[in-house]
Amino acid sequence: MNRETNDRIEEMDAPRIMTRDQHCISRKQIDEDVLKVLYRLHRKGFLAYLVGGSVRDLLLGRQPKDFDVGTDASPAQIKRLFRNCFLVGRRFRLAHIRFQGNKLVEVATFRRHPDAEELPDDPDEHFHFVQNVFGTPREDAYRRDFTINALFYDIGSFSVIDHVGGLEDLAQRRIRVIGDPQVRFAEDPVRMLRALEFCARLDFYLEDDILQVIKSSAPLIADASPARIREELMELYRHKVSGKVLRMSKELGLLPHLLGGYRGDEASLQLLQLVDDRTASGVAIDEAFAIAALFLNRFFRECPAEKETHITTALHIANEIIIPHCRYFSIAQGIRHQAREMLVGCFRMARGRGLRGERRFLEHPFTPRSLELFRLWAQVKPEHAALIDTWSEAIKCPTQPPSDTEKKKRPRKRRRGPRRPKGRGGYPKDQQKVE
């Protein structure tokens, strides 16, 4: 969007303003430290807006997970106002204001799209170029991705300001891109995944033209930063929508480009939905559990749970499956190790009890987590359901003697070292000390 477009924006109709008595947002719903930041900016003569997804969620009657602040104060001016402020970012400076308990309130100066003469010489860098190009609130609204994320709450008048038609889209429960979807998805391919996430989280719908653009632009997401994709994927798990979003991604042809050829078979998608239900029940999700659930069905296809299969074979196959994923997304070795242990733990449980190494397996710290995953898997594959109670009891009492059905193990022989030479004190007779 260049200066020409910015000029057209200014010539458009005035923004829709929803006054205090026309909306449901209350300051009691806003974090008290965020209110302190808003009030101080306002008292010093600057615009102070609550921006982005927090306004959307408050209007929908949902409690936001965090609050972002937008202002016309420059980063240097924000820093002078708050002693507990530090600036981050090189291309675009953001102000992070720190409060007790390591809480951070992010404050951003209103931005606009740079003019043509401000862009790099290389056209390939235009879409990914960001710098300190400050703008008006209206220009900042048109710079955002979706209309429902471009709403502002003004602490000065307690009103909601809408420059892009986001209020109407909220009422229609519709996800609409600001500007040309083809261009906006090319600028940032991760927006395609975010569009699907908002559909699943908010129970909104996507317009047909956007769905068609996602289908045609799906390969672009393979060029997105792996770090950003990794964080967006974890957001899907945290918001309990991984199953829904990955299913939609498969239908739109986005999934194989998103996860390097991942098939997204029906059993895996069902398992991810059960993982989401588990998270919704209050059990926190972590990345190792998410990775294990993502690849469990593929692991069982390549490593059938047969008693003749050696455990080292299962370990080798588990590594072959998850290492490429972990390397691409720069996932730490510790997380990879936990995911592998859960896969192999499910493999042991699927084989049944009474096999070699069971006692040690029952005492392994990851065995209870393997049982959690295997319990979900048994809902997808009911033939494993009979094993759940058996393993649950065994894990509760790992030191109980083996049942009659368990194989008896031969006691391990203690390895002896070389015999010491006979004689007094262990020395040969000819080397013994004479007293």
pLDDT in tens, 338-371: 999 999 999 999 998 888 888 899 989 899 999 9
Q: Beta strand pairing status for 48-51 and 151-154?
A: antiparallel
Domain count for the chain, please give it.
2
Are 382 and 361 in contact by the 8 Å Cβ rule? The answer is no
In a domain, 158, yes or no: yes
**Rounded to an integer, what distance in angstroms lies between the CA atom of residue 331 and that of residue 341?**
16
Same-domain check for residues 19 and 167: yes
In a domain, 297, yes or no: yes
Are 154 and 131 in contact by the 8 Å Cβ rule? The answer is no
Set 57, 68, 162, 169: catalytic member: 68
Instruction: Tell me how far the alpha carbon of residue 169 is from its chain's centroid.
Output: 26
The predicted pLDDT at position 418 comes to 65
In a domain, 8, yes or no: yes
Q: Which of 146, 178, 210 finishes a domain?
A: 178
The percent of the chain in helix, strand and coil, each rounded to the nearest 5, is 55, 10, 35
In a domain, 337, yes or no: yes
How many other CB atoms are there within 10 angstroms of residue 169's CB atom?
21
Give the chain's length.
435
Q: Which of 178, 207, 232 finishes a domain?
A: 178
Q: Residues with Cβ < 8 Å from 368, sequence gap 6 or more? A: 395
In a domain, 113, yes or no: yes
Set 57, 145, 154, 169: catalytic member: 145
Set 33, 66, 188, 277: catalytic member: 66
Residue stretches of the chain with pLDDT short of 50: 1-11, 126-128, 405-410, 433-435
DSSP code of 410? Answer: P
Same-domain check for residues 31 and 163: yes
Q: Which residue has the tokens 């997380």?
A: 335
Q: Which of 178, 205, 222 finishes a domain?
A: 178
The predicted pLDDT at position 355 comes to 85
- Strand pairing partners for 160? 18, 153
Same-domain check for residues 171 and 295: no
The predicted pLDDT at position 3 comes to 46
Q: Which residue range(s) make up the domain with 334? A: 287-396
Q: In CATH, what number is assigned to the domain containing residue 150?
A: 3.30.460.10
- Strand pairing partners for 398? none
**Rounded to an integer, what distance in angstroms lies between the CA atom of residue 106 and that of residue 50?**
11
Q: Which of 177, 235, 249, 169 is nearest to 204 (CA)?
A: 169
The predicted pLDDT at position 5 comes to 45
Q: Which of 316, 333, 323 is nearest to 295 (CA)?
A: 323
Are 351 and 305 in contact by the 8 Å Cβ rule? The answer is yes
**Rounded to an integer, what distance in angstroms lies between the CA atom of residue 373 and that of residue 358?**
18
The predicted pLDDT at position 92 comes to 77
DSSP code of 113? Answer: P
User: Is 276 annotated as catalytic?
Assistant: no
Same-domain check for residues 157 and 300: no
Same-domain check for residues 152 and 29: yes
User: Is 66 annotated as catalytic?
Assistant: yes
In a domain, 106, yes or no: yes
Q: Which residue has the tokens 């058996």?
A: 390
Q: Beta strand pairing status for 68-71 and 103-109?
A: parallel
Q: Which residue has the tokens 């710290």?
A: 365
Statement: the pTM of the whole predicted model exceeds 0.95? no
Same-domain check for residues 3 and 142: yes
Same-domain check for residues 172 and 297: no
User: Is 154 annotated as catalytic?
Assistant: no
pLDDT digits (tens, 9 = 90+) for 123-150: 555 444 555 688 999 999 999 999 999 9
In a domain, 236, yes or no: no
> Burial of 321 by CB count in 10 Å (0-12 exposed, 13-18 middle, 19+ buried)?
buried
pLDDT digits (tens, 9 = 90+) for 85-123: 999 987 778 999 999 888 999 999 999 877 766 655 555
In a domain, 298, yes or no: yes
